[in-house]
A = this chain, B = another copy of it.
Amino acid sequence: MNSEQKYSVTFLPANKSVQVKGGSSLIKAARKSGLHINASCGGAGVCGKCRILMEKGEVSGGSSEKLSQEDFNRGYRQACIAEIKEDIVVRIPEESSRQKGGLSTEIPKRHHARMHVFDMESLKKEDIFYPPVEKLCLELSPPDSHDNRADIGRLIQGLADQEDKHRMVTGLTVLRKIRRALREKDFLVTVTIEQPVNNKAKSHILNIQAGRWNHRNFGLAFDIGTTTIYGVLIDLNSGQILAKNSCYNPQMSYGEDVIARIIYAEKPKGLNMMHELVTDAMNSIIDTMLQAAQPPSDPSYGPITRDEVNSITISGNTTMTHLLLQLEPDNIRRAPYVPVSTFFPPIRAEDIGLNLPHHCVALLYPAISSYVGGDIVAGVMGSGMYRTELLTLFIDVGTNAEIVIGNREWLACAACSAGPAFEGGGITHGMRAVEGAISDFSMNSETLEPMNVTIEGKAPLGICGSGLLIIIATLFENNILNPSGKYRDIDNPRIREGRSGREYVIAWEDECAADHDIVLNEVDIDNFIRAKAAIFAGVTTLLDQVGLQVSDLEQIILAGGFGSFIDLDSAMSVGLLPEVDPDKVLYVGNGSLMGAWMSELSNHIRRDVVEVVRKMTSFELSEIPAFKDQYVASIFLPHTDLSLFPSARERTQKR
């Protein structure tokens, strides 16, 4: 079976066809075609509700002890554990479909943000592919009695004559190596040069090697997330990524969020401990990537060595950056929230404990404030927001949501304390987006039977952020929830009184991997509404500060882990995101990592960062009286002002 090959799946009686990759589950194919199949167990094959009938072709798997041999012989399969391997036609029986039959088995088509893919070609086309660190090979003439200038003078003259490079400085390390380097290969040398960020400053000669080595020039980009650390190894000559690796941020063991980390760092030796944890993790990622990578041009050159890494760009939020640099972060968590620094001088990678060569330079993305960090600045750079003419809302949702509004002319930003709801925190059965988390959902509007889609198709364990969003949106769109986020009085076994108000049972205990029913209660919903209200109020307040309104927005850019799964219609239904044409929503993935990566590839971007930070106005929402009003107006589904959400209103009223 070729997993890249696509197959046609036709669902009856709706007669809807969809193309899916080989190996996909039948339940995901139904989701994609806009059809609902009852499926509580999220693909674990244990609830046995997702039975479909094969009418043409066959699937792999599709049966467990929940399916009798007789039914199997009759052509029934369990959709959640059936993998597609050829073109098929299947029938959704009444008990599995949303309604008794007809067109209404359809569920609303969901929109996801267009993926913004980083494009080397456009960097080259815009003529900004100039890696800040480059390697140049020079053939110099040996000294004689008429030209006995110093070794370093000879090199610098060579750079001027052969490469039109001027205004160079160097340090002791190169001076200590140059005599041998020049003479080892008869005055054929390769120099590593770092362009200055500031045009007026000088270029640095970082390294010198005997012989021709300019085809090997490597850099690193890192995103230090509170939860996950991501690294990429880059060929600085081609711009290609040679290896990627990531790991959980090991600081997690000492606190899930930045506040807990700061508190730990205030203990004796706590800051050193936090620093060592992150650098150890980075070193291990670097090791893994170096072992995995092969230089692209010619395999005969052998593996990439640590000494060939010439630069590293790192982005992270303000707290992560402080911990990495061993800057005392305690005032970040105490009003008036003062970080030690928001910009960071260029340093040597070895100065922060990275196992990289002495000459390797490290650049840290500047931050804006304690809660709008270098990761957001990197996202603004990496997503291209700072170069667009469109009035853009950039939003990165996690425990804190950071918002940037603006375009190439101006930028305004703010941080909202959204709380951890979007990461599963404060939700009774909330969890992170890992195996077994319910991440997608649909519901039979009559029976309220769910179709739970889980990460990796495991039996459900809990609900992650994207699942929470779509569950609440679905319940609200189907009038199960009122605008205050309370369950209506509906007679259905899945709606019941629980310890925290009414609750909806998403999965029964015997269908899931948890030792209890998985439910969503009114306190959970309230926490969610408060979180989304903080974000939406942040957006409207920030717009208000610059004299604009939601309707002026021309583009939304989503960044961060949450953005990759987000269902746009749900987000607009509940009033998390302003209503715009879904085609105008871009998802940049890990914008922070992308920004770091682009800084490795383009000195223009390193220069522009300075300008972007300078022109980004930071607003402290808690200091703006209107924010409170906006917040109060937002703690409804979707909002008190329904004119802001015409489509959502329409969707809700339809039912």
A contact set with B: CB distance below 8 Å = 143-153, 169-172, 175-176, 178-180, 200-201, 325-328, 330-331, 335-345, 347, 351-352, 369-370, 620, 622-623
Contact = CB atoms under 8 A, between A and B. Distances in A.
Contacts of A337: 148
B145 A175 contact: no
Given A145-B620, A172-B347, 5 more contacts: A145-B623, A150-B340, A152-B341, A172-B326, A176-B327
Chain A to chain B: the 5 pairs with minimum beta-carbon distance, closest first: A148-B336, A152-B341, A145-B336, A179-B328, A150-B342
A655 B351 CA distance: 75
Given A172-B347, A175-B325, A175-B327, A340 B151 contact: yes
B201 A341 contact: no
A339 B330 CA distance: 51
15 contacts: A144-B336, A145-B620, A148-B620, A150-B341, A150-B342, A151-B340, A151-B341, A153-B341, A171-B347, A172-B325, A172-B345, A175-B327, A175-B340, A176-B327, A179-B327
Nearest to A151: B340
Contact of A341 (B175, B327, B341): B175
A340 B170 CA distance: 13
B623 A338 contact: no
A569 to B, nearest CB: 38
A202 to B, nearest CB: 8
A145 B336 CA distance: 5
A336 B143 contact: yes
A180 B328 contact: yes
Nearest to A147: B336
A364 to B, nearest CB: 10
A345 B170 CA distance: 7
Contacts of A347: 171-172
B175 A342 contact: no
A149 to B, nearest CB: 7
A326 to B, nearest CB: 6
A331 B179 CA distance: 9
A342 B153 contact: yes
A625 to B, nearest CB: 13
Given A172-B351, A176-B327, A620-B145, A151 B338 contact: yes
A352 B144 CA distance: 31
Contacts of A145: 335-336, 620, 622-623
B338 A149 contact: yes
A623 B370 CA distance: 65
A372 to B, nearest CB: 12
Contact of A339 (B150, B338, B352): B150
Contacts of A330: 179
Contacts of A170: 345
A342 B150 CA distance: 6
A200 B199 CA distance: 11
Nearest to A325: B172
Contacts of A342: 149-150, 152-153
The residue in A176, A178, A335, A340 that gathers the most chain B C-beta atoms within 10 A of its C-beta is: A340
Contacts of A149: 338, 342
A219 B148 CA distance: 35
A68 to B, nearest CB: 68
Contacts of A144: 336
Contacts of A150: 338-342, 369
Given A171-B345, A172-B325, A180-B328, A148 B340 contact: no
A609 B160 CA distance: 23
Nearest to A329: B179
Nearest to A347: B172
Contacts of A623: 145-146
B151 A339 contact: yes
A114 B595 CA distance: 66
A168 to B, nearest CB: 10
Nearest to A149: B338
Of the listed residues A150, A176, A180, A200, the one surrounded by the most CB atoms of chain B closer than 10 A to its CB is A150
Contacts of A180: 328
Contacts of A171: 345, 347
Nearest to A152: B341
A81 B188 CA distance: 69
Most buried by B among A169, A176, A338: A338
Contacts of A338: 143, 148-151
A11 B80 CA distance: 125
Nearest to A183: B331
A268 to B, nearest CB: 15
Contacts of A622: 145
A354 to B, nearest CB: 13
A179 to B, nearest CB: 5
A353 to B, nearest CB: 11
Contacts of A331: 151, 179
Nearest to A170: B345
A626 B275 CA distance: 67
Nearest to A343: B152
A222 to B, nearest CB: 17
Contacts of A344: 175
A175 B324 CA distance: 13
Nearest to A154: B338
A325 B345 CA distance: 26
A170 B340 CA distance: 13
